[in-house]
Chains A and B, each alone.
Chain A
Amino acid sequence: MLLAHLEHGAAGSGGGADVAALLAAAGLGLFHGINPAMGWLFALSFGLQERSRAAIGRSLAWIVLGHEISVLPSALIITAFAGQVSRGVAMAVVAGALLAFGSWLLLRPRHFRWVGMRLKPWQLAWWSFLMSTATGAGLMLAPVLLHTSGGASHHATAGLAEGFGAATVVALVHAAGMAFASGVVALVVHQVFGLRILRTHWINLDRVWALAFLVAAGGVALAWWQG
């Protein structure tokens, strides 16, 4: 069904979740997945605490769920917005939002704060939801969604429904990318590298992420400029 939807979307008027969009969504998911601050480190600590690899997988499932609960509604809202305004306006707003949010992430001296370590599964999902929302995971999908939605060319209800379908696919692919990356990293660190890697290879991905917003803003602005 997804494939049918994809084909349908790809055949649409320049929109739909095409391969490039899906790769971009998956890539953003992979980025989130490798970031220790987005969840795999939490899963790993539960695994070490309980001396169980299963605990890693179990907690990652809740973390990915929380992430998706943040990303999916954002994707749907962005799609609905893009369906209501002209493509030019949508792109200008998205570029502005990405620029503003990226600058805020880059310049603020604070971290996302959460104080608990003994979390029930739903609390872990809630933590992941807040973390994803605070870091703008859903917003970052906006350029991908603009690409899939085709803007105001889909004014009809059918067009919006199609846009929602594509947005859902994008959000799910994104979550799959995140789940894959975080699962692989957590297990490899657990089984192969050990905790030592945290001290040497934990580069400041939060700052990379903030810069990525600015790059994405530039990309959308450029596309807007080129019409």
Chain B
Amino acid sequence: MASWRPDPTFYPSPSLAAEEPQERYAYVATYWRGEGEPQKDALAVVSVDPAADDYGQVVGWTEMPNHGDELHHHGWNACSSALCPGNPHPHVERRYLILMGLRSSRIHFVDVRQDPRNPTIDKIIEPEEYKAKSGYSRPHTAHCGPEGIYITNLGTAEGDEGPGGIALLDHDTLEVKGTWEKDRGPQYLAYDFWWHINHDRMITSEWGTPRQVEEGLLPEELLAGRYGNKLHVFDMVRRTHLQALELGPQYQMALELRPAHDPQHQYGFIGVVISLEDLSGSIWCWHRDGDDGDFAITKVYDIPAEPVADEDVDKLPEMLRPFKAVPPLITDIGLSVDDRFLYVSCFGTGQSIQLDVSDPLNPTKVGEIRLGGIMSRASHPAAPDLPLSGAPQMVEVSRDGRRVYWTNSLYGAWDDQFYPDGVGAWMAKADIDPETGAMSLDERFFPHGDDFRGNRVHQAHLEGGDASSDSYCFS
């Protein structure tokens, strides 16, 4: 039912989003992969209010009813884009987290508004219905936008291949409306998507088909350059493909897209997992020639692989031994709401690198922390004797840019390849100096291990929205 006043968590502009009260809870998608109870995926509610007695603890736990969903990303049913003048509907509520089973293709709508510490599942779309109505399977990322809820998918409805693409859901009825694309052009692989909402342009990226990802990274396909290496530009209104931006065949897996939050700007960043030439990871910036010109893409930052001494090669997972190096493996990036800092997660080396991207084509490194990592196994200051597996992976930045959160798991089958002795489960947080950007790990915040009941932790979203969930129409 529509409300009388706009949802207080809809923010007209990035700067107004930063002014509002900070989050009290982080909602963390966790999934089970064969270790211990409870054997079901769950949404964990973590207290992130430093003044609360239970700060840093899991204070709520909502289990999904089925096995094997593999919860991955999640998104909101409504957000700041509801204030956009082209399609204003500010009297809906930011109420449901859309939790998607990347393996099962099951969609859960979890109500976190009624009782923020005890979310309830209000609606489930079963895989058969989702596939039949959307034309897709393996839902990945959800964003709230002008026409409703958009969900990108790795695969087509039948089988394990492409083309992947975007499904559209109604944000009032929570029903599947159908396939979003009217003309996908040459786009076949799918992964992430976001947009320049004031300019009617959507950007999409590429990972691989379900066959290429569900059993783990396929080395022969990687070496043959068959994972995604392009971005696609779509007309958001006509739903048609406009442009493909090629990175080059050596750049494999063009994943997370982070467009500038200021709606006047038409640039953004993408993290590319690996280069076949030297195992480096890279950050690229797409940018538009004027207000209405073509888009172009430029590599703006390289993170090199770290060599491993001969005597330590045996400690590498089997797949990496021939290379005698640890690739950074950029699996996620996060852009602060003021478009100033980009946080780059390196799932291989365990780094989180902070770049000042005020000049988007010339980023400069201003900070770094290290946790876990394939070789380094760097520990957290809260538990200095505990070597960590996994790495800063999904990164979430608070609206005010003062807090950054990381979770440590990538995707079941891939975790197992890079951390064969177990990836564990942990979540970490750093405080950010708003002037210099300096990162410092919070020693009071380190939920880990049994706190997550044997589940792995993949992605967090923050109460009231965060740096990866809202689109703003005003600057």
Of B197, B263, B474, the most chain A CB neighbours within 10 A belong to B474
- CB contacts (< 8 Å) of B83 on chain A: these are 198
Size class of B's contact patch? 35 or more
The residue of chain A having its C-beta at the shortest distance from the C-beta of B13 within the complex is A195
* Residues B198 and A198 in contact, CB atoms below 8 Å apart: no
* Residues B16 and A195 in contact, CB atoms below 8 Å apart: yes
Complex CA–CA separation, A207 to B90 (angstroms): 12
Q: A113-B87, A116-B200 are in contact. Are A204 and B475 (CB under 8 A)?
A: no
* Residues B5 and A200 in contact, CB atoms below 8 Å apart: yes
* Residues B147 and A115 in contact, CB atoms below 8 Å apart: yes
* Residues A117 and B4 in contact, CB atoms below 8 Å apart: no
The residue of chain A having its C-beta at the shortest distance from the C-beta of B2 within the complex is A204
Q: How far is the CB of A226 from chain B (nearest CB, A)?
A: 34
Q: A36-B88, A109-B173, A207-B2 are in contact. Are A199 and B8 (CB under 8 A)?
A: yes
Chain B residues numbered 441-475 whose CB sits less than 8 Å from any CB in chain A: 473-475
Complex CA–CA separation, A36 to B475 (angstroms): 17
Q: What are 20 inter-chain pairs, A to B, with CB distance below 8 A?
A: A36-B88, A41-B85, A45-B85, A45-B474, A49-B198, A49-B263, A109-B172, A111-B172, A114-B87, A114-B146, A117-B197, A118-B200, A119-B86, A195-B13, A195-B16, A196-B12, A196-B16, A198-B12, A204-B5, A206-B91
The residue of chain B having its C-beta at the shortest distance from the C-beta of A109 within the complex is B172
Residue in contact with A116 in the complex, picked from B11, B173, B237, CB distance below 8 Å: B237
- CB contacts (< 8 Å) of A117 on chain B: these are 84-86, 146, 197-200, 473
Q: Which residues of B contact A (CB under 8 A)?
A: 2-6, 8, 10-13, 16, 83-91, 146-147, 170, 172-173, 197-200, 236-237, 263-264, 473-475
How many chain A residues have a CB neighbour from B under 8 Å?
30
A171 at the interface (CB under 8 A from B): no
The residue of chain B having its C-beta at the shortest distance from the C-beta of A207 within the complex is B2
Chain A residues numbered 144-169 whose CB sits less than 8 Å from any CB in chain B: none
- CB contacts (< 8 Å) of B16 on chain A: these are 195-196, 199
Complex CA–CA separation, A189 to B103 (angstroms): 48
* Residues B199 and A118 in contact, CB atoms below 8 Å apart: yes
Q: How far is the CB of B198 from chain A (nearest CB, A)?
A: 5
- CB contacts (< 8 Å) of A127 on chain B: these are 86
- CB contacts (< 8 Å) of B13 on chain A: these are 195
Known: A118-B198, A119-B86, A203-B5. 18 other contacts (CB 8 A): A42-B86, A48-B474, A49-B264, A109-B172, A109-B173, A114-B146, A115-B86, A116-B86, A117-B146, A117-B197, A117-B198, A117-B473, A195-B16, A196-B16, A198-B83, A199-B16, A202-B6, A207-B2
- CB contacts (< 8 Å) of A204 on chain B: these are 2-5, 91
- CB contacts (< 8 Å) of A198 on chain B: these are 6, 12, 83, 90
- CB contacts (< 8 Å) of A114 on chain B: these are 86-87, 146
